[in-house]
A and B are shown apart, each in its own frame.
Chain A
């Protein structure tokens, strides 16, 4: 809760400052946005340990192997990074770059899902 409040305060302050800076120095405004985003994201990184613990717990108690959950979590991470990056590109009025980032994100997510799909296809073949 505290982290959310801090993140919200930092983000709103940075947005206001960036709005002021945008008229005179748009590059600096963008840089401020990027830095704020990095700081806010870094602050939330410590929760990754909790997520990892949750996955370990799922493996221990629920018998779900990490190899089933890993691609899903990776997809989540790719989705977050892609969204942040493409939004930043759009803020910088670079729609083509944003689309490029979206495309790369999609390809990466598909690549992450591929081993699972290949395993499923192998299992299907053995079933038939």
Chain B
């Protein structure tokens, strides 16, 4: 009986140790620059979420400024081509050669943009790879820590579900979504050079296909995690309820007190879950900050240039730039989907800590 009481008294300590391990797993797998933004999670109860948010906003400003400086040469080059087009096209219009000159201008702009395109695409790919690396490094530790907290069945099932879903998402992103975005860029250039209804339809189809795939992947992943969590979580919750009832019935007088103490520990675990959740949200946002800022600046640049080109340099260049802007938006969506999936994976792991 004494052993049982000792064991029951030690259970909250085990849970707290598990929570600490989970925090360490969340923190230690982050890159150094992200740790500076997210701050430490050593003392979960006093995690400075507001300070981390301020650091995140400051870092966001910095990344935006850096991205703007990086894309300055692209912006200036586009501006020069736009003004050249605005000067040349009206001249050639009177000679009946505006179509050819616009074609020339669009080809020049396409050539100018495709030279820097690889770096943008590789940046987005690198962001996804970084998120996956973080996921691969952090997930085993996070779920192992969650398993120590007592939810062995659900954490194992969730880990399997998360790993499978992440692998499926990565494969689909690499084999389907990124090629679809490439195809959209190619079609935008082709449409700029040669206005054709079939090309326009194909571009629309590819755009819808990639958007739909991303939406389905994100929704499917969350549903999958939700369903697997629901099934396993119900089993764990039932087990905890049985233990609580067992404590209360086995210990007639102390049982109620023990049960209340257990509830206090569990509520502190809920508090820990909240802080860990905030921490992981900030950490993932910090991970995605740099590529997001870069893609956002490019998107704004292309949208603005497309509007200007439509007004001053002719329709073809406007179509080309609008297509590039839409592709940047798709890349942002892809990075966003991955970050959301990663966040939900971590939240799923954190949820297993609480009963």
- Interface residues in A21-78 by Cβ distance below 8 A to B read 58, 61-65, 68-69, 71-73, 75-76, 78
Which interface class (under 10, 10 to 19, 20 to 34, 35 or more) fits A? 20 to 34
B108 within 8 A of A: yes
Taken residue by residue from 163 to 201, chain B's Cβ proximity to chain A (1 for < 8 Å, 0 otherwise) reads as 000000000000000000011011001100100000000
Contact of B76 (CB < 8 Å), options: A61, A73, A110? A61
Taken residue by residue from 83 to 94, chain A's Cβ proximity to chain B (1 for < 8 Å, 0 otherwise) reads as 100000000000
The total number of A-B Cβ pairs within 8 Å is: 106
CA distance A106 to B104 in the complex (A): 12
A7 within 8 A of B: no
CB atoms of A124 and B79 under 8 A apart: no
A127 within 8 A of B: yes
Given known pairs A64-B80, A68-B111, A128-B183, the reply for A83 and B190 (CB within 8 Å) is no
CB atoms of A71 and B91 under 8 A apart: no
CB atoms of B97 and A78 under 8 A apart: yes
CB atoms of B103 and A82 under 8 A apart: no
CA distance A79 to B97 in the complex (A): 6
CB atoms of A109 and B101 under 8 A apart: yes
CB atoms of A128 and B97 under 8 A apart: no
Q: Return chain B residues, CB-CB under 8 Å to A61.
A: 76
CA distance A61 to B107 in the complex (A): 21
Select from chain B the residue with minimum beta-carbon distance to A82. B95
Select from chain B the residue with minimum beta-carbon distance to A84. B95
CA distance A127 to B94 in the complex (A): 37
CB atoms of B96 and A117 under 8 A apart: no
Q: Return chain A residues, CB-CB under 8 Å to B110.
A: 120, 123
Q: Do most interface residues of chain B lie in helix, strand or loop, or is the interface mixed? A: helix
- Shortest C-beta distance, B80 to chain A (Å), equals 4
CB atoms of A106 and B100 under 8 A apart: yes
CA distance A71 to B100 in the complex (A): 11
Taken residue by residue from 105 to 125, chain A's Cβ proximity to chain B (1 for < 8 Å, 0 otherwise) reads as 110011011001101100110
CB atoms of A105 and B103 under 8 A apart: no
CB atoms of B76 and A109 under 8 A apart: no
CB atoms of B107 and A116 under 8 A apart: yes
CB atoms of A72 and B84 under 8 A apart: yes
Contact of A72 (CB < 8 Å), options: B76, B96, B105, B115? B105
Contact of B189 (CB < 8 Å), options: A80, A110, A124? A124
Which interface class (under 10, 10 to 19, 20 to 34, 35 or more) fits B? 35 or more
CB atoms of B92 and A79 under 8 A apart: yes
Q: Return chain B residues, CB-CB under 8 Å to A106.
A: 97, 100
B112 within 8 A of A: yes
- Shortest C-beta distance, A116 to chain B (Å), equals 4
Q: Return chain A residues, CB-CB under 8 Å to B100.
A: 75, 106, 109-110, 113
B81 within 8 A of A: yes
Contact of A116 (CB < 8 Å), options: B73, B77, B108? B108
CB atoms of A69 and B84 under 8 A apart: yes
CB atoms of A72 and B85 under 8 A apart: yes
CA distance A124 to B107 in the complex (A): 12
CB atoms of A64 and B81 under 8 A apart: yes
Q: Tell which of B81, B91, B95, B100 has the most Cβ of chain A within 10 Å.
A: B95
Given known pairs A58-B80, A63-B77, A120-B193, the reply for A112 and B96 (CB within 8 Å) is no
B117 within 8 A of A: yes
CA distance A50 to B198 in the complex (A): 43
CA distance A75 to B186 in the complex (A): 25
- Shortest C-beta distance, A29 to chain B (Å), equals 24
A-B pairs with the 5 shortest C-beta distances?
A: A79-B95, A83-B95, A116-B107, A62-B76, A68-B108
With A64-B81, A79-B91 already in contact, 19 other A-B pairs whose C-beta atoms are closer than 8 Å: A62-B77, A63-B73, A63-B76, A69-B84, A71-B104, A73-B88, A75-B88, A75-B104, A79-B101, A83-B94, A83-B95, A109-B104, A113-B107, A120-B107, A120-B111, A120-B114, A120-B189, A124-B189, A127-B186
Q: List 14 A-B contacts (CB under 8 A).
A: A58-B84, A64-B80, A69-B108, A71-B107, A73-B88, A75-B104, A79-B101, A106-B100, A109-B97, A109-B100, A110-B100, A113-B103, A113-B107, A117-B103
